[in-house]
Chain A
Amino acid sequence: MKQFNFNPNSYFIVKNFLIILITILLFIDILCHNIFCMIGNNLFAHLFVCLLFLIAIVTFFTCEHFQWQRLAEANNTSKALDIIKREEALKENNRRAMLHIMRDLTGSMEEIKKLSQVKSDFISTVSHELRTPLAIVQESISQLVEGLRGPITDEQEQLLKVSLCNVEWLGSLIENLLNISKIEAGKLELKRIEFNVVDLISEIVSAYALMVKKKGLEIINKCPKEAAMVYADKDLIAEVLRNLLSNALNYTEKGYVEIGFVLKENKVEIYVKDTGFGISPIDQAKLFNKFIQIGRIHGPGSKGTGLGLSISKGYLEAHGEKIWIESSIPGQGTKIVFSLPRRKTNEI
């Protein structure tokens, strides 16, 4: 093993992996030979050999951690380090070697933070500047559609309604972009309160009644009547529920959407289940990423912005909670679950 220097940006090469292994083995062998002579060829000696061997292997594989600690101590500061471990062929004799590259990212981290701040400031300024003209466009079209500015033909009304739909979509896109930038900048301020999940769910379910009826679907509220108290930001959780319900309704053509929860020791696990298209395993992996709309062609439409699940995940992570796909079978439906901290009645 050769280590070139001990600067913050440093690297070391473990030349020929096999040689080192053999050296360690030989070392153990010599050592053990002596021990065998002393204690005899018994089970304990064999165990001892195995243990030593194990220690040697662990030491070898974790050697960069020691370097990392020494580096941090040497600079007497906490450091953000990136260690890349790569197997490379050495030029001189074409043998394999393990190359470790250490990079000090402490400076870069500050830069990344600054950049992220610039980005979130930019998004909030842009969304403010976009909202004003959007409000003017929306109001103008609404007045025309409503006939406040005189009669219009059916064809004109149709066109204007399409425009209005797209203005609304743009509005929600701006809103969601703002939310994403808040989550990414860590500026999300939680206003946690104690509230009853049962009440919130039935409130939101009733808001979707019309949409459900129009699509010829059914929405089943499986919540019991007894209160289930949680401690969270009610507005944000309401948005998570709305995102999950509208996704379930958008991606379900026939059948039902079910919502309910399971009480755990310290958590309430809320689920939304549908009998919709389902999500393939490949799509499941990227489901919570930004701008993901499964099976969706690019361009605006009534379906959404592709940010709902990403935002929901951000909101729940800010609470220290999780959201996951419990099951999804293409053609048979999806079940998505998220957890909330439970507040038991005797703690109130």
Chain B
Amino acid sequence: MKYKILIIDDENQFSGLLSFRLTKTIDCEVLTADNGEEGLKAAQMTHPHLIILDLLMPVMDGFVFLEKMADDITLKKIPVIVLTASTSPTSRDKLTKYLNVAEIFFKPVKPEVLIKRVNQLMASV
């Protein structure tokens, strides 16, 4: 079975690079979305094994996305890695209520650290 990973980030250059790394180092298929709304549609259609999510995005931000995910019975158990440039303690506190958020990383994260965590989560799927 090929793993499916969804990256939701408004920074296309970053999601492009990350997607390249993931496909090269893990046997997986990577989908990308520019914001929460597109991400939600993509998630509902493809049911990925893991979502890598940015927080501050236009149209629909990461928090609203997580809220919508929690309301959807088919999505609410998909593990999420939050990968954001926003380090405020309030956003960190807000994230604790979403049980499917498996990890919070701040940009720039070391690639080996991110890949290690993705591998761990994939192994538990």
Contacts and interface: CB of A to CB of B under 8 A. Distances in A.
Contacts of B98: none
A134 to B, nearest CB: 5
Chain A contact residues, majority secondary structure: helix
Interface in A136-162: 136-140, 142-143, 146, 148
A178 interface: yes
A128 B107 CA distance: 9
Interface residues of A, number: 22
Interface string B81-120: 0000111110000000000000000111101000000000
B108 A171 contact: yes
B14 A132 contact: yes
Interface in A181-210: 189
Nearest to B109: A135
Interface string A112-134: 00000000000010011101101
A124 B88 contact: yes
Contacts of A138: 108, 111
B67 interface: no
A92 to B, nearest CB: 61
B14 A136 contact: yes
B32 to A, nearest CB: 14
Interface in B1-31: 11, 13-14, 17-18, 20-21, 24-25
Interface in A27-49: none
A136 B17 contact: yes
Given A134-B108, A148-B24, A189 B89 contact: yes
Interface of A: 124, 127-129, 131-132, 134-140, 142-143, 146, 148, 167, 171, 175, 178, 189
Given A132-B85, A135-B85, 20 more contacts: A124-B87, A127-B87, A128-B86, A128-B87, A131-B85, A132-B11, A135-B107, A135-B108, A135-B109, A136-B14, A137-B108, A138-B108, A139-B14, A139-B17, A142-B111, A146-B111, A148-B21, A167-B108, A178-B87, A189-B89
